[in-house]
């Protein structure tokens, strides 16, 4: 069921007095779960969390995912959804809730990824006996110690392959990256634990590193760029085949290959992955992956045939004039398994907001890849005001143009003129909509559209480069975007993500590898060579300066200072991770694109021609 557009009246989350980040954290800690609560209070909290996954009939945001009709294959998405394996929170219920709220592990993801030593039904039965035995125990420390012992008895942590890797201080950064592909590679999952949250993959794959010991959808495109630049085409092809296998198995590419990621996707880069491999293997690649390209498209467009003007459902919104755009979305409305405690505390700190709506938006925020950013926050700075599902984002819709154009090319190669023409038409319609709806004259750049309040968000972010990357901007618009980026987002260490410092990791002062690459490629596409080179040069310098000091490449960097003071970035729900997949990939390809810059800054392995091109 869809919902009509809301008036401009703010939601309860935005009408309440804004809470500072520090106040929100203090409130959350004050409300944190005391392990020795009475059984009655514990039951109420566990029941509330469990009920979050149940749909509420009165709101579209709580509509079951299979209610909408897909563009093609009407049964495809229902079948995939019904066959999705249970998540750890589903399997272990109260045990999962209690372990996460007791903070047995500092990182919620740790328990989500642990392997059970027995069948889940046996473990949950044992836990019920454990609860009865410890019902009278009110010493928090003793109870937590006993619960920790229970977890250690019934669960085992998966091995971390790169834990023992030590970088060679005598190795230049290119050699370091080329070595790390082997360190971050994983073998095919031949004999997976049937109750693991890890979704098995049939081919070798590359993980980002650190706490991320599985593949991630949009990360992997930038990893593949680096693999190609390193001459690892076969491994890049394995990556592509794994994603095709996930589409065949589940009807879409999940956020990552974990059961708890299946309810959402991530920015759709599968079409670019196909094109990247086709650069080496030829146009036959488009025909080979045409079925998966189409299924990917059907996932994002599910419900288009029946969606009425002025309504939204799943990943789609149709504006009152009939314009069709995509949005980010998650099929579930409960705390994320991998950030369970954090989501519970965020909801407790905001009692005036419906928890299921908050959790839906936190999940949708994870699908954006920008988790989290002021870009998604209704008040611009407080996480509990997150409102992703009311936005038509410029990056997602630009990527959908690329997907539609790629499908048009694939159908053309197949000789299916009708489908090729249809996809070409849809791509043009979407490009026109991006120009008409997402161009912000106030910013002289692109921004997101808040369709619930019928207004642009008027926030300058690095997402403004996506229409240039996709080739849907006019020459004049590209020039204005370049000027806006130079004036508002260019920093000494590279391209800033936003102009707002909130403590969220996708905000000032942090810079991220994929956004540097997309900006460089988009600007080059429109002849803005000087700014593209400036961004690339500053980002390369930041990476190399940090590597020289630490012999590491990390997930993100603070770009507010010059390269000589380059530092790792902070913010977000977890500590900084090193490794790091997409940082390695983007740096490797930028060093090929700008070999003189790399060589001048001490990267002797930087040479060769550009290995990538704009879509």
The CA-CA-CA angle for residues 198, 199, 200, to 5°, reads 105
Nearest Cα to Cα of residue 337 among 29, 77, 574, 92: 92
Confidence tier at 571 by pLDDT (50, 70, 90): low
43: Cβ contacts below 8 Å, ≥ 6 apart: none
Whether 38 has a pLDDT exceeding 70, the answer reads no
Catalytic pick among 357, 371, 450, 558? 371
Whether 581 has a pLDDT exceeding 50, the answer reads yes
3-state secondary structure of 101: helix
- What confidence score (pLDDT) does residue 156 get? 96
Cis before 172 (ω within 30): no
Nearest Cα to Cα of residue 504 among 15, 16, 24: 24
Q: Give Cα 53 to chain centroid, integer Å.
A: 21
User: 562, exposed or middle or buried, with CB in 10 Å at 0-12, 13-18, 19+?
Assistant: middle
339: Cβ contacts below 8 Å, ≥ 6 apart: 108, 109, 362, 573
- What confidence score (pLDDT) does residue 134 get? 94
pLDDT per position as a tens digit, 186-245: 999 877 789 999 999 999 999 988 777 899 999 999 999 999 999 999 999 999 999 999
pTM equals: 0.87
Cis before 223 (ω within 30): no
pLDDT per position as a tens digit, 240-273: 999 999 999 999 999 999 999 999 999 999 999 9
Nearest Cα to Cα of residue 401 among 446, 369, 437, 434: 434
Higher-pLDDT residue of 211, 604 = 211
Active site residue 507: no
CA distances from 42 to 33, 35, 46, 381 (A): 9, 9, 6, 32
Active site residue 371: yes
pLDDT per position as a tens digit, 103-154: 999 999 999 999 999 999 999 999 999 999 999 888 999 999 999 999 999 9
3-state secondary structure of 593: helix
Catalytic pick among 555, 558, 573, 578? 555
pLDDT per position as a tens digit, 431-453: 999 999 999 999 999 999 999 99
Nearest Cα to Cα of residue 185 among 212, 204, 164: 204
Mean pLDDT of 269-281: 98
pLDDT per position as a tens digit, 73-102: 434 444 444 468 999 999 999 999 999 999
Q: Which domains are seen in the chain, by residue range?
A: 1-6+25-51+84-157 (no CATH), 169-279+292-307+439-600 (1.50.10.10)
583: Cβ contacts below 8 Å, ≥ 6 apart: 513, 543, 553, 554, 555, 556
Is the CB of residue 363 less than 8 Å from the CB of residue 297? no
């Amino acid at each position: 069921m869809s919902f009509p557009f809301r008036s401009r009246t703010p939601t309860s989350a935005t009408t309440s007095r804004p809470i500072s980040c520090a106040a929100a954290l203090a409130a959350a800690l004050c409300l944190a779960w005391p392990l020795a609560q009475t059984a009655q209070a514990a039951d109420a909290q566990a029941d509330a969390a469990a009920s979050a996954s149940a749909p509420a009939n009165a709101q579209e945001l709580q509509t079951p995912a299979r209610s909408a009709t897909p563009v093609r294959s009407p049964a495809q998405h229902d079948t995939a959804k019904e066959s999705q394996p249970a998540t750890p929170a589903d399997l272990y219920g109260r045990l999962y809730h209690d372990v996460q709220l007791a903070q047995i592990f500092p990182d919620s993801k740790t328990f989500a990824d642990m392997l059970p030593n027995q069948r889940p039904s046996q473990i949950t039965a044992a836990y019920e006996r454990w609860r009865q035995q410890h019902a009278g125990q009110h010493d928090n420390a003793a109870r937590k110690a006993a619960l920790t012992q229970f977890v250690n008895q019934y669960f085992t942590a998966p091995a971390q392959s790169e834990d023992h890797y030590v970088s060679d201080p005598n190795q230049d950064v290119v050699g370091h990256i080329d070595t790390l592909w082997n360190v971050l590679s994983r073998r095919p999952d031949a004999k997976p634990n049937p109750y693991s949250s890890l979704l098995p993959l049939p081919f070798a794959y590359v993980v980002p590193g650190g706490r991320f010991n599985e593949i991630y959808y949009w990360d992997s495109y930038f990893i593949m760029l680096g693999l190609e630049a390193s001459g690892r085409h076969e491994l890049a092809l394995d990556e592509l085949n794994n994603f095709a296998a996930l589409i065949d198995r589940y009807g879409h590419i999940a956020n990552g290959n974990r059961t708890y990621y299946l309810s959402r996707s991530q920015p759709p880069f599968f079409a670019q992955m196909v094109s990247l491999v086709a650069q080496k293997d030829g146009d036959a690649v488009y025909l080979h992956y045409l079925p998966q390209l189409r299924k990917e498209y059907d996932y994002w467009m599910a419900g288009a045939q029946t969606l009425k003007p002025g309504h939204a459902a799943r990943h789609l919104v149709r504006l009152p004039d009939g314009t069709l755009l995509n949005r980010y979305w998650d099929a579930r409305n409960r705390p994320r398994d991998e950030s369970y405690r954090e989501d519970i505390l965020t909801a407790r700190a905001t009692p005036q907001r419906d928890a299921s709506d908050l959790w839906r938006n936190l999940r949708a925020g994870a699908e954006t890849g920008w988790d989290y950013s002021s870009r998604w926050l209704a008040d611009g700075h407080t996480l509990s005001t997150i409102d992703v599902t009311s936005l038509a984002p410029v990056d997602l819709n630009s990527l959908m143009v690329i997907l539609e154009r790629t499908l048009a090319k694939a159908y053309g190669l197949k000789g299916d003129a009708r489908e090729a023409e249809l996809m070409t038409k849809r791509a043009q319609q979407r490009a026109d909509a991006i120009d008409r709806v997402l161009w912000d004259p106030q910013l002289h750049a692109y921004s997101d559209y808040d369709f619930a309040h019928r207004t642009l968000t008027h926030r300058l972010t690095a997402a403004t480069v996506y229409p240039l990357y996709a080739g849907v901007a006019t020459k004049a618009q590209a020039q204005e975007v370049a000027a806006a980026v130079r004036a508002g987002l260019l920093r000494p260490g590279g391209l800033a993500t936003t102009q707002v410092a909130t403590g969220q990791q996708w905000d000032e002062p942090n810079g991220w590898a994929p956004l540097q690459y997309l900006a460089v490629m988009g600007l080059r596409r429109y002849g803005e060579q000087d700014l593209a080179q400036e961004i690339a040069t500053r980002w390369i310098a930041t990476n190399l300066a940090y590597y020289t000091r630490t012999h590491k490449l990390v997930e993100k960097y603070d770009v507010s200072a010059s390269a000589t003071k380059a530092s790792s970035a902070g913010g977000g729900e977890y500590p900084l991770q090193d490794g790091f997949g997409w940082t390695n990939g983007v740096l490797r390809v930028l060093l090929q694109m700008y070999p003189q810059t790399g060589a001048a800054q001490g990267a002797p392995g930087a040479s060769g021609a550009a290995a990538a091109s704009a879509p």
